[in-house]
Amino acid sequence: MEPADPQIAAADEILSTKWIIPILRILAYGPTRFSRIRSLVAGISSNILTARLRHLETNGLVRRKELPHPADRQVYELTELGLAAVAVLKAIAKWAEQLPEQRRNP
């Protein structure tokens, strides 16, 4: 792996932005309304959540979907690329299980 690996830099740019990982974690459970995401991500404002969802949409990890009548609601859901990112996060979590206890529970 090169020190300036462009794929790692691209992944870092997408995933290291504050609030992205908690949003992906929530969407991993299925399509979710904006208000539900906001209620589950402690401390995030509506405008920041909007920006983060747009960031994820622009990068192909999330898409907006309109639910049919009678729901007539918009939800956000992971794309295949978003699901792949969640798989990577799960692999990181598995790796983190090997860390000393004090590192896992700061």
The confidence band for 100, taking pLDDT boundaries of 50, 70 and 90, is confident
Q: In the chain, where are the structural domains located?
A: 6-104
Q: Among 80, 66, 62, which Cα is nearest to 24's?
A: 62
pLDDT digits over 14-48, tens only?
A: 999 999 999 999 999 999 999 999 999 999 999 99
- Residues 67 and 71: their CA atoms lie apart, in Å, by 6
Q: What is the mean pLDDT of residues 55-84?
A: 93
Task: Indicate the average pLDDT of the chain.
Answer: 91
C-alpha neighbours within 13 Å on the C-beta side of residue 78: 18
Distance, in Å, from the CA atom of 80 to the CA atom of 60, rounded to the nearest integer, reads 9
In the chain the first and final C-alpha atoms are separated, in Å, by 30
The CA-based dihedral angle spanning residues 24, 26, 27, 33, taken in that order and rounded to the nearest 10 degrees: -130
Q: H helices of the chain, where? A: 6-15, 20-27, 34-40, 46-58, 80-96, 101-104
- How big is the chain by its Cα radius of gyration, in Å? 15
pLDDT for 54 beyond 90: yes
Could you tell me which residue, 3 or 96, shows the higher pLDDT? 96
The more confidently predicted of residues 64 and 1 is 64
**CATH level 3 topology of 6-104:** Arc Repressor Mutant, subunit A (1.10.10)
